[in-house]
Amino acid sequence: MDFIFSVMNRFLTILFVSVLLSSCGNIVVKKTIDPKTVNFEAVYDEDFDNVIYPSMVLALANYGGTDEKPLFTVNITAPQNNSVLRIVADSTVLNYVSITQETLPRKGVRYTYEPVIKWKYENLYRLRQQGNITMTFTCFINDEEVDVKNIRLNYRPVNECLMSLLGKKSNYRDYRWLFAAYVNEDHPKIDGMLSEMLSQGIVSTFDGPRNEKKVETQMRAIWFYVLNRGMSYSSISCTSNGSKKSNSQHIRFFDDVYKNRQANCIDACVFFSSIMRKVGLQPIIFVEPCHAYLGYYSDKTKKKINLLETTITGWVNFPELDKHFDSNNNMLDQNYYSKYYKYLNDKDKAKYDAGQLTLDELKKSVANTLFDKASDYQKENYKNNKALFADTTQPTYRMLVIDELRKQISPIPSVDEN
């Protein structure tokens, strides 16, 4: 009998607990705050046309003093004095769960805040194709969930650099300063490249902008190295960005230019600038409608600017030239040689005709001639447009001094660095 009572007691206990748990699950927590009164809004800057640029997020990652408008804002009306607001942004492929907490001092007052987004920088570095995310923002007041808002966004590849936006009332917003984010003087490959440049015999050391002559010699050493890499001109500026408000351009990373030996005008400018900054030289990128060319301060005073048309590196191909010489420095194809003969000065032409010019001497002679041409190529154009570069309100001409922009803009590491 005791056994029967024991079993029945256990059964009744289990039944009671089950009923209790079931009833608890159906309990409805009464909300004390009316969402209509709070009128919670989560907003993405409408000028960006629901497009997010990872390159911009990365460029501004280490700089807190930007004058840029926040990408995200939340608006809310305080339901009571000193209520505690908590905004939770859910995790996506681009960000971790992000929490922002503020106090709403006065009942009935509408407040605007910029929610802190904890970006997944390691993912942003690797985005080479576009995609979509939904950013979900949940509003809590005094620990009570009040409302939820979703923002659907299209994210762009990290190689896509925003150049300009057409905002409200046709307000033009210039973003070509983001080119500086693709200048990467910290790239680990550069150290090895500098060793190769020193072995060329043009300079014995890289010692920065000590004087104009030393600066030019260092630039010639970098120029000769790039020609020996065989960099060819290759334009890729089109993107799949369908936004009608923005203008953007694909920019190759340092790794891409180094490996594939291809660059357009802006790719080559940021590639040269990366090496220059590593050795203490001071690059400038001049941006005009549909073109960019390189400049640099010729000494520490920054009073004189020299120019360099980097696309001229594509006029010759030294790796191909090497294949047309035998081990005794004899030209194997005279017709091919004529492409380079025109870039020799009279002294070197005579020396080669006499069989006294080595392949290395030939390449250095051609490189020096092309460097001189590249230095003169944009002089007249720069002279004519100098006032436009100095006018900060001019929307289509920009003088990007990388040293100054580095105070605000971080270099974007390319994929191979992570």
pLDDT in tens, 345-366: 999 999 988 888 888 999 999 9
Stretch 21-37: mean pLDDT: 67
pLDDT score, position 242: 58
What dihedral angle (degrees, nearest 10) is formed by the CA atoms of 149, 150, 156, 158? 60
When pLDDT is cut at 50, 70 and 90, the band that residue 16 belongs to is: very low
| Beta strands, E only, 11-97 | 41-44, 51-52, 72-77, 83-89
If one compares 275 and 325, the residue with the highest pLDDT of the two is 275
pLDDT in tens, 101-144: 999 999 999 999 999 999 999 999 999 999 999 999 999 999 99
Rounded Cα distance between 371 and 225, Å, is 12
Ranking 59-68, 278-287, 397-406 by mean pLDDT, the lowest is 59-68
Rounded Cα distance between 193 and 204, Å, is 14
Q: The pTM is what?
A: 0.86
Rounded Cα distance between 161 and 417, Å, is 20
Residue 26 has pLDDT above 90, yes or no: no
pLDDT score, position 10: 53
Pairing of strands 246-250, 232-233: unpaired
- Give Cα separations from 385 to 93, 286, 314, 377 (angstroms): 44, 10, 25, 14
When pLDDT is cut at 50, 70 and 90, the band that residue 64 belongs to is: low
CB–CB of 50/154 below 8 Å? yes
pLDDT in tens, 302-335: 989 999 999 999 999 999 998 888 877 777 777 7
Rounded Cα distance between 278 and 206, Å, is 9
305: tokens are 């600017």
Residue 2 has pLDDT above 70, yes or no: no
Question: Positive or negative CA dihedral for 337, 340, 343, 344?
Answer: negative
Protein fold of 35-155: Immunoglobulin-like (2.60.40)
If one compares 252 and 392, the residue with the highest pLDDT of the two is 252
Q: Which residues contact 392 (CB under 8 A, 6 or more apart)?
A: none
CB–CB of 50/244 below 8 Å? no
If one compares 225 and 239, the residue with the highest pLDDT of the two is 225
pLDDT score, position 9: 53
CATH 2.60.40.10 placement within the chain: 35-155
pLDDT score, position 131: 96
Residue 246 has pLDDT above 70, yes or no: yes
When pLDDT is cut at 50, 70 and 90, the band that residue 15 belongs to is: very low
pLDDT score, position 5: 44
pLDDT score, position 245: 80
Most confident of 26-35, 156-165, 389-398: 156-165
Q: How many residues does the chain have?
A: 418
pLDDT in tens, 138-192: 999 999 999 999 999 999 999 999 999 988 766 888 999 999 999 999 999 999 9
CB–CB of 241/248 below 8 Å? yes
pLDDT score, position 221: 97
Query: Measuring CA to CA, which residue among 383, 372, 344, 398 is closest to residue 219?
Result: 372
Q: Write out the DSSP string of 144-198.
A: EEEEEEEEEEEEPPTTEEEEEEE-GGG-EEE-GGGGGGG--TT-THHHHHHHHHH
Query: Measuring CA to CA, which residue among 229, 230, 274 is closest to residue 251?
Result: 274
229: tokens are 């890499």
Task: Name the β-bridge partners of 152.
Answer: 134
CB–CB of 206/280 below 8 Å? yes
Residue 243 DSSP SS3: coil
| Beta strands, E only, 78-127 | 83-89, 98-104, 110-113
When pLDDT is cut at 50, 70 and 90, the band that residue 384 belongs to is: very high
When pLDDT is cut at 50, 70 and 90, the band that residue 239 belongs to is: low
Residue 132 DSSP SS3: strand
79: tokens are 């339901």
CA angle in degrees (0–180, nearest 5) for 239-245-248: 30
Residue 35 has pLDDT above 60, yes or no: yes
